Amino acid sequence: MFRSKKVGLLGRILLVLILAYMVYALIDVRQEISAAKAEVETLTEQVAEQVQYNTELSNAIENRDNPDFVEDIAREKLGLVSPHDRVFYITD
């Protein structure tokens, strides 16, 4: 019925080389996947930070005419105080 063919030495060497190449390619693809996952994680963090920053900017735009908001900005970012506030200087 079926005749078995003898595979010569060259055929076996070729088969081993093909398998070695496939293993190498598989390892390379796994490294690329790991790098892509790390990049996705980094970009996700950057998106979250940008969304938070955009929210803060939207809040600032909405409250730009609110005197309390402007006063808070003046205190926190500019270090200004209103005339009725007491300022304590702590020295070591």
pTM to 2 decimal places: 0.56
Let me know if residue 74 belongs to a domain.
Answer: yes
Let me know if residue 42 belongs to a domain.
Answer: yes
Residue 65 vs residue 3, higher pLDDT: 65
- Please name the residue that has the structure tokens 């926190």: 76
Let me know if residue 1 belongs to a domain.
Answer: no
Let me know if residue 4 belongs to a domain.
Answer: no
Which domain covers residue 29, as residue numbers?
9-78
The four Cα atoms 40, 44, 46, 47 give a dihedral, to 10 degrees, of: 130
Let me know if residue 21 belongs to a domain.
Answer: yes
Q: What is the CA radius of gyration of the chain?
A: 34
Q: What is the phi-psi region of residue 90: left when phi exceeds 0, alpha when psi lies from -120 to 50, beta otherwise?
A: beta
Q: What percent of the chain has pLDDT over 90?
A: 49
Q: How far apart are CA 22 and CA 74, in angstroms?
A: 64
- How many domains does the structure of the chain reveal? 1
Q: Average pLDDT for residues 52-63, to the nearest whole number? A: 92
Q: How far apart are CA 19 and CA 72, in angstroms?
A: 68
